[in-house]
Structure 1
Amino acid sequence: MSHNEDKLYPWVDINPITSYHSQGHSFLDRSTKIMVSDQAQEPQMSIIDVPKVGAQSRVTCKVKYTCSSAPPALSLNGIPGTDRTIDSLLSDGIWERTIERTWNVEEDHKKVECTVRYPGGQSAKSELLLHVESFRVLAADVPRRFNALTRSCVVIPCSFQDDEDQPLTRGIWYKKTGGLVYHNARSDVLDQFKDRTKILGNLDEGDCSLEIDDIKPFDNGPFCFYGEKGTNKYRFNNSCVFIVMKASPEKPVMSLVPAQVNAGSTVNVSCSVSHSCSSHPPKFSWSVPYVNNEVSDTEMSRGVWKTTSTITFVVAGGDGQRNLNCTAIFWRGKNETRTFKLIVEGTTAYQMQKAIPVVIPVVILVLILFAVLLGIFFYRKRDVNIPHTPKISLG
């Protein structure tokens, strides 16, 4: 305290060094007053994320200082976690040191304490009470890993069991690293997920399946589900999923077709592809015109579907090798094609067979016409050869 309110005078000589302390010298005079305190300033503490049991949260502790060459030391106690320290210049000569701790919240976490220690030996403490939101823990069924096609959509299967009569009033999906992925209050959702997520299932029936549309390469999660009934929070075991990104879709699988087919024959063929976007299944395009097309969807495993297109087509004429193409077009445009090579035979016979229904009626018509003309000819000839009896007149 002996130097409290002392003034420091920096001496700046505006003349060359040769005139220093010479008679009639001039200099610029400025002063700085030193304010000395014998007590350390208490650090300031705050919570960044609302602490919820089972989720991650962050707490910060800050203190200002003026000795940048020997900054104070900050430490946090009461909760385990990982720290990062940041030093920021607030104004001329005024610095701020911040320590930020990230930790996994548990129900018995009640308070956190921050201590600041200065190189001169002074120290101070602050304490922050943690109002931890507790959850009732239920069981859920969510796959740990799930495949998704980028730019398409994915429907993450999710189900849970609740033995209470009152159903969940809200289902929420969040990133395990922090931030909401789906919430019925749009403003609470992270910007990069707004208008891309929705719960497809009925919470009253224990279905919490989540659709993420227009999948981005960074949408890998992990994503976790929890629920609410009014002010009560419900956390679920086995409720987190990691998304495995796929840049290219599955190649479709085509059923066996005879390697050699006759022109004009009828062929049935199926083309199927697996996917994880049940809300927008793939469409199919064929390289041949078909007379019938049946599309079916089958769940192969939890959340993984197979869509199948079965067509009936008539083999066109033209002997030789032909390509039969089936293209699966996935939601938002990505596609894959499977090709099967056919050997077409019997075109000449097929063309003759096609001509028969036309030739026979023409021949019959010609024969009928010929018969009619022939009948007319003989009728006229007979009429000429019949002798005429003379008429006798009685007088």
Structure 2
Amino acid sequence: MRMFCLLLAAVISPVFTEDWRANVVQNLDALVTSCVVVPCSFSHPKENLPSSRLRGIWHFSTDKSKRIYYQDITQVLENFRGRTRLLGHLGQDNCTLEITDVKDHDNGPFCFRIELARTETDTSTVDKFSFVESCVTLRMLPDPPKPTLSHPKTAIQDRPYIISCSVRHTCPSHVPKLTWSRGTADEITEVYKDTGFGYWEAQSILTIVPDEKDDHSEVTCTAQFNGQKTSSTSLTLNVKRTENYNHIIIPAVAAFGTAVISAVFCIFMVKRYKTRIAELQNQEGSVWNRLSRLSRRRRT
């Protein structure tokens, strides 16, 4: 019986401990001077935990006392004060963290800790758990990523031409602003989407109708990130002229018109020539007839 109880305890204990879980992205890019949002969710064995009694803490993995976020700002490391906040609601098991004005030494790793206060007024804890096995490490980016352009290789004159500009980022609370070197608001469509694992994508779609004069001209997409850092990517338009057969049609019509005029003129001249010959023949016949009558009179 004792062996059975020990075996049962060994099986059941991990089950209860596994009820405390956190889902945190392990690695994430962070642009210096901008902001970064660390998606975080957790589960627990308790039911209906009131938000007013929950305390969320983010701290360095090496030292729980080095807090980068806590509701009591006096207990937060001075370097992080005013730069961190929770975007999620702890009562909904959401522990998402935002860090603004990112410094080049904000690399972490950072871990989440949850505490349950005895009452709203009594801050002493009755339960607490640190998710030290689910921490995030930030990769610091000194320069912003460049936008990626997607477009057909060739544009056709007077036909719609679509260019897509997209950039990946890690701060959905302050989405990068995408602008074009040309185009109006009616020609631009913006799309934002979550690509997973803590990354988001901002996309701007430009639709233009290029003219012949736009050939070899440049179109530039610029991304402005939170913190005022910018990056841009350009493309050179290759505009193909619309098929035009005027260089064949106009000479052909001119040649045909000339041929028709010449034919009409020739027909007119031939008819006139024949008419003149007939008149001369008639005149010659009349003279001959007269001479014949005169000769007959003399003989008689």
Whether the TM-score (by the shorter chain) exceeds 0.5 is yes
- Write the letter of the residue equivalent to 1:181: I
Q: Who is 2:170 aligned against? A: 276
Per-residue CA distance 1:43-90 (angstroms, 9 max, x = gap): xxxxxxxxxxxxxxxxxxxxxxxxxxxxxxxxxxxxxxxxxxxxxxxx
Secondary structure of the equivalent of 2:165? strand
Equivalent residues of 1:319, 1:346 under 8 A apart: no
Within the candidate set 101, 109, 121, 1:222 is matched to: 109
Equivalent residues of 1:200, 1:208 under 8 A apart: yes
Within the candidate set 310, 318, 321, 2:213 is matched to: 318
Within the candidate set 124, 135, 140, 1:245 is matched to: 140
1:149 corresponds to 2:31: yes
Secondary structure of the equivalent of 2:79? helix
Within the candidate set 88, 91, 106, 1:204 is matched to: 91
Using a 3 Å threshold, how does the CA distance of structure 1 residues 177 and 236 change in structure 2: closer, same or farther?
Answer: closer
Within the candidate set 177, 186, 208, 2:73 is matched to: 186
- Write the letter of the residue equivalent to 1:175: F
Secondary structure of the equivalent of 2:91? helix
Using a 3 Å threshold, how does the CA distance of structure 1 residues 152 and 170 change in structure 2: closer, same or farther?
Answer: same
Per-residue CA distance 1:100-144 (angstroms, 9 max, x = gap): xxxxxxxxxxxxxxxxxxxxxxxxxxxxxxxxxxx9981111122
Equivalent residues of 1:182, 1:198 under 8 A apart: yes
Q: Could you tell me the TM-score, scaled by structure 1's length?
A: 0.51
Secondary structure of the equivalent of 1:288? coil
Q: Distance in 1 between matches of 2:167 and 2:47?
A: 41
Equivalent residues of 1:261, 1:342 under 8 A apart: no
Q: Distance in 2 between matches of 1:148 and 1:330?
A: 11
1:1-395 aligned at under 5 Å gives the runs 138-167=20-49, 169-178=54-63, 179-230=66-117, 231=125, 232-262=127-157, 264-290=158-184, 291-316=186-211, 318=213, 320-344=215-239, 346=241
- The 4+ residue runs of structure 1 with deviation greater than 3 A are 344-347
Secondary structure of the equivalent of 1:152? coil
Q: Distance in 1 between matches of 2:203 and 2:214?
A: 29
Q: Distance in 1 between matches of 2:78 and 2:233?
A: 39
Secondary structure of the equivalent of 1:218? coil
Per-residue CA distance 1:302-328 (angstroms, 9 max, x = gap): 211111111222325515311111111
Q: Could you tell me the TM-score, scaled by structure 2's length?
A: 0.66
Structure 1 alignment gaps of length 5 or more: 1-134, 350-395
Higher mean C-alpha deviation, range 176-185 or range 316-325: 316-325
**Would you tell me which structure has more strand in proportion to its own residues?**
1
Q: Distance in 2 between matches of 1:304 and 1:319?
A: 36
Using a 3 Å threshold, how does the CA distance of structure 1 residues 311 and 226 change in structure 2: closer, same or farther?
Answer: same
Using a 3 Å threshold, how does the CA distance of structure 1 residues 260 and 315 change in structure 2: closer, same or farther?
Answer: closer
Secondary structure of the equivalent of 2:216? strand
Equivalent residues of 2:111, 2:132 under 8 A apart: no
Secondary structure of the equivalent of 1:318? helix
Using a 3 Å threshold, how does the CA distance of structure 1 residues 252 and 319 change in structure 2: closer, same or farther?
Answer: closer
- Aligned-pair RMSD on alpha carbons? 2.2
Q: Distance in 1 between matches of 2:182 and 2:240?
A: 17
1:261 Cα deviation from its structure 2 partner: 2.9
- Write the letter of the residue equivalent to 1:201: G
Equivalent residues of 1:227, 1:234 under 8 A apart: yes
**Would you tell me which structure has more helix in proportion to its own residues?**
2
Q: Who is 1:27 aligned against? A: none
Equivalent residues of 2:61, 2:132 under 8 A apart: no
Q: Who is 1:113 aligned against? A: none
Equivalent residues of 1:155, 1:210 under 8 A apart: yes
What fraction of aligned residue pairs are identical, expressed as a percent? Answer: 36
